[in-house]
Amino acid sequence: MPDSDKFDFDSLMDDDLPDSGDDFFLFDDEPGVKKESILEEKFDEPAIPEQDIIEPEPDFSVQKRSSADFSPDMDALLLTAQSSMIIEAMKLVSLHDFKSKNISVFSEAIKGIDLYMKILERNPENFKKLSIILSSDQDCMDVQKIAFNHFRNVMGELPESDSQKLKAFELINEKLKNAYNKSLISSSIVNIKKYYLLSGNLDTVKIENELKINPEFLKNQVNCFVRHINIGRQMIKSGNSEIVKGMKGKELNVFIVKAAQMLIYYFGRTGEAEHQMFYAKLHDNFKKYFIIR
Domain boundary among 174, 208, 241: 174
- 103-117, 157-171, 186-200, 241-255: which has the minimum mean pLDDT? 241-255
3, part of any domain: no
* Domain-embedded: residue 60: no
87: nearest Cα among 68, 109, 69, 71: 109
pLDDT at 29 over 50: no
**What percent of the chain is predicted at pLDDT more than 90?**
54
Same domain, 85 and 150: yes
Confidence (pLDDT) at 21: 38
> What CA–CA distances, in Å, run from 271 to 29, 267, 276?
42, 6, 8
**Residue 52 pLDDT more than 80?**
no
Quick one: pLDDT band at residue 216, thresholds 50, 70, 90?
A: very high
Q: Which residues of 131-143 are buried (b: 16+ CB within 10 A; e: fewer)?
A: beebeeeebbebb
In the 3-class helix/strand/coil scheme, how is 211-259 assigned residue by residue? HHHCHHHHHHHHHHHHHHHHHHHHHHHHCCCCCCCCCCCHHHHHHHHHH
Assess whether 126 and 50 both reside in one domain.
no
The answer to whether the beta carbons of residues 258 and 192 sit under 8 Å apart is yes
Does position 113 have pLDDT exceeding 60, yes or no?
yes
Does the pLDDT value for residue 172 go beyond 60? yes
Q: Is residue 136 situated within a structural domain?
A: yes
pLDDT higher than 70, residue 7: no
Residue type, 257: V
Domain that holds residue 284: 9-55+180-288
Same domain, 100 and 146: yes
Residue 62 lies in a domain: no
Which of 135, 151, 174 is a domain's end point?
A: 174
Checking if the pLDDT of 150 tops 90, the result is: yes
Residue 147 lies in a domain: yes
Task: State yes or no: pLDDT of 49 exceeds 60.
Answer: no
Instruction: State the total domains in the chain.
Output: 2
